[in-house]
Amino acid sequence: MKLINKAIVLTGGTAGIGRQLVEQLAEHNQIIVLGRDQAKLDELKAQQPSVMTFQVDLSDVKRVHHVAKSIALTLPTVDVLVNNAAVQFMPKFNDETFHFDTIQREVDTNFTSVCALIHGLMPSLSSSTSSRIVNINSALGLVPKTSSAVYCATKGALNIFSQSLRYQFEGSAIGVQQAFLPLVDTAMTTGRGKGKISASAAASEIISGIEKGSKDFDIGMTRVLRVLLAIAPFAAKRLLKGA
């Protein structure tokens, strides 16, 4: 699939990887961005007038489903849905700074909203001759780390969910893809880790993976992790445990 003249729905398009995806795709495609911060959406719209924006907090899954159905009415055909947005809370369960109410927000933003968007947009995705659901995942969806247990769990769930969706859509025009990212230099990862790739580079590789049609494509050091998992799983787990 060449990403030209496509209708592309994208979450988290006002910053980080999502913003870079918009920058690289907006010239030749119709981009529809869902975001939580209206001011950032307005700024994006000012810089990219062709972009359509919808304000919605992804943790409000009923509202997300409603917005998705509204988009489906506005755009009878959606060629690509990129589920990019996510939140991550670092405290461990036994830390004094851990807050119970972050659990639901993390699960709904990172996973349940993905389900809501796919279901709400199903009529438009089904009407395309060849559509894609692209779930932006993480190396932590393959191997967890010590902190951010809920985040790791949502990424693991996204991985299994994506595989199951492929079974459901076999023989249809809808394909399901996953991009597994390493540590990317975004606001989420400020102050953490070394050897990060840029958001621009991550976006370029995501676009390349979509166009190649790869079901699961690994970016950067995630390729090494995948090999390590196959030949030395204990080493892979030890490597990510303290990440």
7-241: what fold?
Rossmann fold (3.40.50)
d(CA 124, CA 133): 12
Supply the mean pLDDT for the chain.
94
Q: Which two tokens stand for residue 227?
A: 């090999």
Tell whether the torsion through CA atoms of 142, 208, 86 and 168 is positive or negative.
negative
pLDDT at residue 184, as a whole number: 86
5 and 29 Cβ atoms separated by less than 8 Å: yes
Quickly list DSSP for 75-113.
-S---EEEE---------TTSTT--TTHHHHHHIIIIIH
180-229 pLDDT per residue, tens? 999 888 766 655 656 679 999 999 999 999 999 999 999 999 999 999 99
- Three-state SS for 54? strand
Single-letter amino acid code for the residue at 70: S
Complete DSSP assignment for 135-164: EEEEGGGTS--SS-HHHHHHHHHHHHHHHH
Quick: pLDDT tens for 41-83: 999 999 999 999 999 999 999 999 999 999 999 999 999 999 9
The pLDDT, as a whole number, for residue 185 is 81
Report how far residue 201's alpha carbon sits from residue 20's, in angstroms, rounded to the nearest whole number: 9
Distance CA 231, CA 137 (A): 22
pLDDT grade, residue 146 (50/70/90)? very high
Strand 30-35, strand 184-185: pairing: unpaired
| Beta pairing class for 52-55 and 80-83 | unpaired
What does the domain layout of the chain look like in residue ranges?
A: 7-241
